[in-house]
Structure 1
Amino acid sequence: MRNTILLTSLLFSSSIFADVEHVLMQCSSVSDKLDRLICYDKLTDAVKAGKNVTSAQLSAKDSTPKILTVEDSFGLKEKPKDEQIEKIYARVTKVDKNVYGALKITFDNGQVWKQTDARYFKVKIDETLFIKTGALGSFMLGRDNQNTTIRVKRLY
Structure 2
Amino acid sequence: MLTLLLIIAAPAQENGNNLLQSLASCRAIADNNERLACYDRVSKAVEEARQRKDIVVLDREQVQKTKRSLFGFSLPSIKLFGDGKDDDSLKQLVGTMRASAAQPGGLIRFTLDDGGVWETTEQSMNRLREGDVVTIKPGSLGSYIATAPGRRAVRVRRLR
| Identical-residue share of aligned pairs (%) | 20
Check if 1:25 corresponds to 2:48: no
Q: 2:138 aligns with which of 113, 133, 152?
A: 133
On the 8 A contact 1:142/1:149 being kept in 2, the answer is yes
Root mean square deviation, CA, Å: 3.4
8 A contact 1:102–1:114 mirrored in 2: yes
Q: CA deviation at 1:153?
A: 0.3
Larger C-alpha radius of gyration, 1 or 2? Answer: 2
Distance 2:51 2:75 in 1: 18
Q: By percentage of residues, which structure has more helix?
A: 2
Question: What residue ranges of structure 1 are gaps of 5+ in the alignment?
Answer: 1-12, 27-42, 55-67
Secondary structure, counterpart of 1:148 in structure 2: coil
**Matched-pair contact (CA < 8 Å) for 1:19–1:53:** no
- Asked if residue 104 in structure 1 is aligned to residue 109 in structure 2, the reply is yes
Deviation at 1:97, TM superposition (A): 1.3
Equivalence map 1:55-94=2 (5 Å) = 69-78=66-75, 82=84, 84-94=89-99
CA distance in 2, matches of 1:109, 1:23: 29
TM-superposition CA deviations, 1:91-147 (whole Å, max 9, x none): 00010111222100000001000010123333111111100110111000102x447
Change (3 A) 1:17 1:86: closer
What letter matches 1:51 in structure 2? Answer: E
Report the number of matched residues: 110
What is the SS of the residue equivalent to 1:125? coil
Q: Which amino acid aligns with 2:67?
A: V
Q: What amino acid does structure 2 have at the position aligned with 1:72?
A: S
Task: Note the alpha carbon deviations across 1:52-105, whole angstroms, 9 max, x for none.
Answer: 247xxxxxxxxxxxxx61111110111665364221110000101112221000
Shift in alpha-carbon separation, 1:24–1:52, aligned structure 2, 3 A: farther
Q: What TM-score does the superposition give when structure 2 sets the normalisation length? A: 0.55
Large movers: runs of 4+ above 3 Å = 16-24, 79-84
- Which of 140, 153, 159 matches 1:155? 159
